[in-house]
A and B are shown apart, each in its own frame.
Chain A
Amino acid sequence: MNACSFTLGTARLCALPSGALFDAAEGLLCVSDLHLAKSDRVARRQGIMLPPYETVETLDRLASDLTATGARRVICLGDSFDDPAAADSLTGAERDTILRLQAGRDWIWIAGNHDPGPVDLGGSHRAEVIIGGLTYRHETLAGSTNEVSGHYHPKFALPGAGRARPCFVFDAARVILPAYGAYTGGLSAAAPALRHRFGPKAFVILTGRCAILAPLPGV
């Protein structure tokens, strides 16, 4: 399905073109920065009413990734909700969709800076978790290894080949996931704040129709 595999520690990971990360050995699907109910927060705080369909859109994509991979475990890597109040604004149908996706699966919400506390939904709430030798947390820690994180919304454009796309960034020690939510912007993987998190030999995997591996230029 046009995915792209790479190795982190001893784990063989698969970057999906949707922006999700799949660990087949653990039956684990990881997505980051869903920013569900962002439109509600924007309406509440800014008085601007964005099309309130980002939650449906994001959950739809998650549902098809779950079906395609048959994952038994799900990790939402933080910033799953745009803020704690936003989580309360989900419609009944949206909550039902989440419950349906959770049914029969081990579901972990990792805390993010937008949603530090637990939300009133099923699944367990953790600051970080270690599974299959990998540490899952929202924001990368300097010096850590075998780490999977999100937070930065990386994106990248190949020179001479069109606009920037959301992307995975990885080296031998860590991978940072792209934002999975529909209403999310991004930071260039080449920007110092992000590039400095990686060693000289680092890669990006662009999302889109196919997941495409490319080298990330040095600092």
Chain B
Amino acid sequence: MPEPAPLPDPFARWFATRGWTIHPHQAEMLARATDPALLLIAPTGGGKTLAGFLPSLLELADGSHKGLHTLFVSPLKALAADIRRNLTTPVTEMGLPIRIEDRTGDTSYTTKRRQRADPPHILLTTPESLALLTSYEDAPRIFAGLQRVIVDEIHALAESKRGDQLFLALSRLQTLAPGLRRVGLSATVEDPPALARLLARHPDPCPILQADPGPEPDISMLVTEELPPWSGGGAAHAIPAVLEQVKRHRTTLIFHNTRAQAEIFFHNLWLANDDSLPIGIHHGSLSRDQREAVEAAMVAGNLRAIVCTGSLDLGIDWGDVDLVIQIGAPKNVKRLIQRIGRANHRYNAPSKALLVPANRFEVVECVAALQAARAHDLDGDPRGPGPRDVLCQHILITACAGPFDADTLFAEIRTTGAYADLTRPQFDDCLTFCATGGYALRAYDRWQRLLHRPDGLWQLRDPRAAQRIRMNIGTIQDTDTVKVRMRGSFQHLGEVEEAFAATLTPGDTFLMGGQIVRYESLREMTVEVSRRADKPPKIATFMGTKFATSTQLSAHILQMFRQDDWPDLPRHTADWLALQREVSKLPEADRILIESFPHDGREHACIYGFAGRNAQQTLGLLLTQRMEALGLEPLGFVSTDYATLIWGLQPLTDPAPLFEAENLREGFETWLKGNAVMKRTFRASATIAGLIERNLPQARKSGRQATFSSDILYDTLAKYDPDHLMLQVTREEALRGLVDFGRIEEMIARTRGRVDLVRLTRVTPLAAPLFLEAGKVPVAGEGRERLVAETAARLLQEAGLAP
């Protein structure tokens, strides 16, 4: 390691007046400032951000640099704004001639225009805003003097397509600014070299610096007097105990896995908040004004607690957080560790965290997660090669900036770690798709999107198309949402899903930002509400991501099931498991347990695969398809991280043929073509690749037949053009994403066809919670057709309208 040089003034003086000494990893970042790529792994509160910025501040201190010097990319808008505030303080105190600005989807049009004409020295932005910047014709001028790019929270970005898009944008920037140096800032991860490969220009090396991880966190499970319920994620039983903890600490972050759960919990918390403790709520569906108000109150130290979701997962500096509470099972040990790191930002003080299981099964999962966290047993699956739908969008973005040469673009893309192994035919497929749609049987001759000019360059046929492409930049797949506004004012409260809005009738109430609002009308894609709340709330359905419990954590749980008794578990949960063992059996890692029983006039089969929510969902689709073929008339199913419950008209008596690996795989191939998960995945990929537009130049109207379902596009392609690029991409995506067939393979490998069917007369303790799960999936088949026909006949008869 090179010897760290002493800090020059005014930096040394500034550190001294604060009584700070430079951390070893900050010094090392300075010493290696000229490296083309560096990855720093440090716990929250380790001065990570400053470590990233110090080299920039030093280089900019003499005021000689003109234009953009450093780009800081963070996954959250709030983070960009927060870091700008935190960075402005030392820059002002040291009197440095450095201009710092942020640029996100929230930045005003005029500011954005000015930033393009006269960029600041340091620009803080998000992957989407950066991609948009690179799409402008003047991108070469904006980025000409760029020296450094800092990718914050790179561990979070690298897990999604937002990261793929960002790293592709970096390849573009590297061409515009050849001297560009890259720095990644990451929380603790299981595989740092994999992250480094994504960050660096391929095949540049990327040294990894590890900061001192600090002391072991102090984590435990919150013990409540009230018993956790059998199902659900509300954790209402824990409200008094959580309030008690909030009182005992200065500032508490209360994390939830979904936005809907956060809303319900916040509502219940307020109902019980007799001392009127100042508590706020923060999640991605709330309006910018609301989020900013909460952030400001938090920074000012005016809040005792924030109920939040993943929108606060990342390193916003909230100052004096001394307790993190996780409501609901963490699903993933790595994310748990990262969330816990949010407590106590002072370096070298242990973080304090409490886990609050929301239901009986989550008690087991929380205890398993605690054991894994203490053992530093982090989980994670490697991501495959860079997805090609993102690549298609990148090609369109490139075309927006001006004519391009295909060979040059291909070479540039291959400098991106995730796309280093992209073949020329794969690239050409994407280019052809962008240019002509890439259809095998029928060509668009006249109306191509990209033209291949006589000089060999590619350009947009219609330059006006650039506006539409820019409006649809990004890889975040939100379902269609509508805005919620208070009637008679312009106060924008937030957003709800369009599908949810469609179920509302005037007078219905729901929770929004912690208050009960009453639905009045839907006008121009805005839900108008009032404050007259005279009904118990329906619950707004927010999309948010549903994470699957990791393979490693599932294995920990199955391991626990083997114990004779469970001294680590609370009594009620241990008793529950013992009862399950008595009336049926507990699932085992090397066998598949199926319980079959009648309930409420329908036959049920509960399959314990412990393959995680997405794979269990796939398993449900596969099994119901085979049951349909066997005439069992399945009607629907629901999945959790550990089991799938199927109901239908006939009992399941012989499960063995259902689970033979060959049958499952073969069924998978034929099934894959026509199922709803594929269609959902197709919709996402086709939107990213530019085949479907999310945003149109004119505001969306709630019009008739304006759009037709993307399912129709999927069906048409599958029928006429089964090898089309979009279907290839959909398949690749589904296999590793929502379909998660890899986890089914893992389940098959560990159980090897050993299936235990237990026939019972009634619901079992372990199966009971599944009846209360949301997200039931109907099966389209003979049983369903029969049901539709019967329903129609009954309605006709009830109306006295026999045909």
* Docked-complex contact A53 and B449, CB < 8 angstroms: no
Count of A interface residues, CB-CB < 8 Å = 41
Given contacts A44-B447, A51-B439, A162-B780, contact A57 B791 (CB under 8 A): no
Given contacts A161-B791, A185-B705, contact A43 B441 (CB under 8 A): no
Given contacts A53-B721, A186-B705, contact A48 B796 (CB under 8 A): no
Given contacts A47-B461, A49-B449, A54-B716, contact A212 B444 (CB under 8 A): no
* Docked-complex contact B796 and A47, CB < 8 angstroms: no
B residues bordering A, Cβ < 8 Å?
436-437, 439, 441-442, 444, 446-449, 460-462, 465, 468, 690-693, 704-709, 712-713, 716-717, 719-721, 724, 778, 780, 784-785, 787-789, 791-792, 795-796, 799, 801, 803
Which of A99-107, A129-137, A141-149, A176-184 has 4 or more CB atoms under 8 Å from chain B? Answer: A176-184
Given contacts A162-B780, A209-B785, contact A48 B792 (CB under 8 A): no
**Distance in angstroms between the alpha carbons of A206 and B795 in the assembled complex:** 14
Binary CB contact string for chain A from 42 to 70 against chain B (1 if under 8 A, 0 otherwise): 01101111111110110000000000000
Measured CB to CB, the nearest residue on chain B to A94 is B442
* Docked-complex contact B704 and A43, CB < 8 angstroms: no
* Docked-complex contact B447 and A49, CB < 8 angstroms: yes
* Docked-complex contact A43 and B796, CB < 8 angstroms: no
* Docked-complex contact B720 and A212, CB < 8 angstroms: no
Residues of A163-219 whose CB lies within 8 A of B:
179, 182-187, 191, 193, 201, 203, 206, 209-210, 212-215
Given contacts A53-B716, A162-B780, contact A214 B444 (CB under 8 A): no
Measured CB to CB, the nearest residue on chain B to A4 is B803
Contacts of B791 in A (CB 8 A): 158-161, 214
Given contacts A44-B447, A47-B462, A191-B704, contact A212 B716 (CB under 8 A): no
**Distance in angstroms between the alpha carbons of A48 and B462 in the assembled complex:** 11
* Docked-complex contact A153 and B705, CB < 8 angstroms: yes
* Docked-complex contact A213 and B792, CB < 8 angstroms: yes
21 A-B residue pairs with CB within 8 Å: A43-B444, A47-B462, A48-B690, A49-B439, A49-B448, A49-B449, A51-B720, A53-B721, A159-B791, A161-B787, A161-B788, A161-B791, A161-B792, A182-B712, A183-B712, A185-B709, A186-B704, A186-B705, A212-B788, A214-B795, A215-B795
* Docked-complex contact B705 and A179, CB < 8 angstroms: yes
Query: Is residue A109 within 8 Å, beta carbon to beta carbon, of the partner chain?
Result: no
Contacts of A43 in B (CB 8 A): 437, 444, 447
Measured CB to CB, the nearest residue on chain A to B704 is A187
Nearest-neighbour CB distance to chain A for B400, whole angstroms, equals: 12
Main secondary structure of the interface of B (DSSP, over half): loop
**Distance in angstroms between the alpha carbons of A44 and B464 in the assembled complex:** 12
Specify which of A44, A52, A206, A212 is in contact with B437 (CB 8 Å cutoff): A52
**Distance in angstroms between the alpha carbons of A160 and B784 in the assembled complex:** 11
Nearest-neighbour CB distance to chain A for B625, whole angstroms, equals: 16
Contacts of B437 in A (CB 8 A): 43, 49-52
Contacts of A54 in B (CB 8 A): 716
Measured CB to CB, the nearest residue on chain B to A163 is B778
* Docked-complex contact A48 and B691, CB < 8 angstroms: yes
Main secondary structure of the interface of A (DSSP, over half): loop
* Docked-complex contact B708 and A212, CB < 8 angstroms: no
Measured CB to CB, the nearest residue on chain A to B434 is A49
Specify which of B468, B691, B789 is in contact with A210 (CB 8 Å cutoff): B789
Query: Is residue A40 within 8 Å, beta carbon to beta carbon, of the partner chain?
Result: yes
Q: Which of B436, B706, B724, B789 has the most CB of A within 10 A?
A: B789
**Distance in angstroms between the alpha carbons of A50 and B692 in the assembled complex:** 8
* Docked-complex contact A51 and B708, CB < 8 angstroms: no
Measured CB to CB, the nearest residue on chain B to A89 is B446
* Docked-complex contact B788 and A158, CB < 8 angstroms: yes
**Distance in angstroms between the alpha carbons of A179 and B559 in the assembled complex:** 56
**Distance in angstroms between the alpha carbons of A209 and B791 in the assembled complex:** 16
* Docked-complex contact A193 and B704, CB < 8 angstroms: yes
Contacts of A187 in B (CB 8 A): 704-705
**Distance in angstroms between the alpha carbons of A159 and B791 in the assembled complex:** 8
**Distance in angstroms between the alpha carbons of A91 and B693 in the assembled complex:** 26
Given contacts A158-B788, A215-B801, contact A52 B691 (CB under 8 A): no
**Distance in angstroms between the alpha carbons of A198 and B707 in the assembled complex:** 25
Contacts of B705 in A (CB 8 A): 152-153, 179, 184-187
Contacts of B442 in A (CB 8 A): 52-53, 91
* Docked-complex contact B720 and A46, CB < 8 angstroms: no
Nearest-neighbour CB distance to chain B for A58, whole angstroms, equals: 10
Given contacts A51-B721, A162-B784, A215-B796, contact A201 B691 (CB under 8 A): no
**Distance in angstroms between the alpha carbons of A191 and B502 in the assembled complex:** 12
Specify which of B447, B787, B803 is in contact with A47 (CB 8 Å cutoff): B447
Nearest-neighbour CB distance to chain A for B430, whole angstroms, equals: 14
Measured CB to CB, the nearest residue on chain A to B442 is A52
Closest 6 CB pairs of A and B: A49-B437, A187-B704, A185-B708, A43-B447, A214-B792, A47-B465
* Docked-complex contact A53 and B720, CB < 8 angstroms: yes
**Distance in angstroms between the alpha carbons of A46 and B447 in the assembled complex:** 10
* Docked-complex contact B716 and A51, CB < 8 angstroms: yes
Given contacts A161-B788, A162-B778, contact A53 B462 (CB under 8 A): no
**Distance in angstroms between the alpha carbons of A179 and B704 in the assembled complex:** 12
Contacts of B691 in A (CB 8 A): 48-50
* Docked-complex contact A51 and B796, CB < 8 angstroms: no
* Docked-complex contact A51 and B713, CB < 8 angstroms: yes
**Distance in angstroms between the alpha carbons of A206 and B442 in the assembled complex:** 32
Specify which of B449, B460, B717, B789 is in contact with A212 (CB 8 Å cutoff): B789
Contacts of A49 in B (CB 8 A): 436-437, 439, 444, 447-449, 691
Measured CB to CB, the nearest residue on chain A to B787 is A161
**Distance in angstroms between the alpha carbons of A193 and B796 in the assembled complex:** 24
* Docked-complex contact A185 and B704, CB < 8 angstroms: yes
Contacts of B724 in A (CB 8 A): 51
**Distance in angstroms between the alpha carbons of A158 and B790 in the assembled complex:** 11
* Docked-complex contact A57 and B719, CB < 8 angstroms: yes
**Distance in angstroms between the alpha carbons of A214 and B790 in the assembled complex:** 10
* Docked-complex contact A52 and B778, CB < 8 angstroms: no
**Distance in angstroms between the alpha carbons of A207 and B778 in the assembled complex:** 18
Residues of A20-56 whose CB lies within 8 A of B:
40, 43-44, 46-54, 56
Specify which of B460, B690, B716 is in contact with A182 (CB 8 Å cutoff): B716
**Distance in angstroms between the alpha carbons of A52 and B784 in the assembled complex:** 32
* Docked-complex contact B713 and A50, CB < 8 angstroms: yes
Given contacts A48-B691, A51-B437, A51-B720, contact A40 B704 (CB under 8 A): no
Contacts of B784 in A (CB 8 A): 161-162
Nearest-neighbour CB distance to chain A for B504, whole angstroms, equals: 15
**Distance in angstroms between the alpha carbons of A127 and B548 in the assembled complex:** 58
**Distance in angstroms between the alpha carbons of A184 and B712 in the assembled complex:** 9
Measured CB to CB, the nearest residue on chain A to B696 is A46
Nearest-neighbour CB distance to chain B for A9, whole angstroms, equals: 17
* Docked-complex contact A56 and B788, CB < 8 angstroms: no
Contacts of A40 in B (CB 8 A): 444, 447
Contacts of A52 in B (CB 8 A): 437, 439, 442, 444
Nearest-neighbour CB distance to chain B for A175, whole angstroms, equals: 14
Q: Which of A51, A52, A182, A214 has the most CB of B within 10 A?
A: A51
**Distance in angstroms between the alpha carbons of A50 and B707 in the assembled complex:** 13
Nearest-neighbour CB distance to chain B for A88, whole angstroms, equals: 11
Nearest-neighbour CB distance to chain B for A146, whole angstroms, equals: 20
**Distance in angstroms between the alpha carbons of A185 and B792 in the assembled complex:** 23
Nearest-neighbour CB distance to chain A for B443, whole angstroms, equals: 8
* Docked-complex contact A48 and B785, CB < 8 angstroms: no
Nearest-neighbour CB distance to chain A for B452, whole angstroms, equals: 15
Given contacts A43-B447, A212-B792, contact A53 B719 (CB under 8 A): yes
Contacts of B704 in A (CB 8 A): 152-153, 185-187, 191, 193
**Distance in angstroms between the alpha carbons of A60 and B313 in the assembled complex:** 52
**Distance in angstroms between the alpha carbons of A159 and B709 in the assembled complex:** 20
**Distance in angstroms between the alpha carbons of A183 and B715 in the assembled complex:** 11
Beyond contacts A48-B693, A162-B778: 12 other A-B pairs, Cβ-Cβ < 8 A, are A6-B803, A40-B447, A48-B692, A49-B436, A50-B691, A51-B713, A54-B716, A57-B719, A153-B705, A187-B704, A187-B705, A214-B795
Contacts of B708 in A (CB 8 A): 183-186
* Docked-complex contact B468 and A213, CB < 8 angstroms: no
